[in-house]
Amino acid sequence: MILYSQDNGKLARGLAKCIVDASYLINSALLKTHKGPGVTLTAKNWYGATDIALMWRKNAHNGFSADKKNGTPSYKTFVDFMGHKNLGGKTLLYLIDGTYGSRDVNGKPHPKWVKAPFNNDWCCSLLASQDGVAIDAVGMDMLINEWPDFGSFNYCDEYLLEAAGIPTTNSGVQYDPERDGKPLDKPLGLFEHCDDMRNYIKLDLQYILAK
């Protein structure tokens, strides 16, 4: 079970048996926006490991979205997912499939990516990392850079700030996803923003040349 660090209302607590029984996990998400939380990347991907109802309208989404108006730091469910012993705690590799990338969480990918370095083509990117915070930060920057007018991006990075700030979080929350009295005591990963996607391309090129 995942008991959450704070009272999370009706949010699902059961975890899939295959997740609990696994020795290690690979978390593979799609690169896309999401109304409410802003992005749906590897951290939100863990929601699918809980005992959610097949009818999505019956599922609660407590603690997912940030304060879009003022950015007031608060408890974030995603951090509990990332820090839980049977979820983020077992993960050896994080992947984000940006082969297409999408501005809409529903339906087939659309539209093509207009800005450099994609230049009116599909995103054609595959991200891989052992750091769940860092990979979501990169995916988030890519989406924000391409669609800055998307209405849910305000403060969508709050869960990453919380995860990277443990044990001294901006919200003051002590994250203890198992409720065993042993709160997480070190950051769950590294977080930074990159405003220009061409910088990511330069880093990749430097790595290839170095090899």
Closest CA to 138 of 117, 116, 114, 160: 160
pLDDT of residue 198: 62
pTM listed for this prediction: 0.91
Euclidean distance between CA atoms 98 and 142, whole angstroms: 10
Euclidean distance between CA atoms 133 and 4, whole angstroms: 19
pLDDT of residue 117: 83
Tokens representing 75 are: 């408890």
pLDDT of residue 201: 55
pLDDT of residue 10: 86
What averages of pLDDT result for each successive group of 10 residues across the chain (211 residues)?
Answer: 90 94 97 92 95 85 91 96 97 96 91 91 93 95 93 94 97 96 96 73 45 39
pLDDT of residue 200: 59
Tracing tokens 């959610």 back to the chain, one arrives at 52
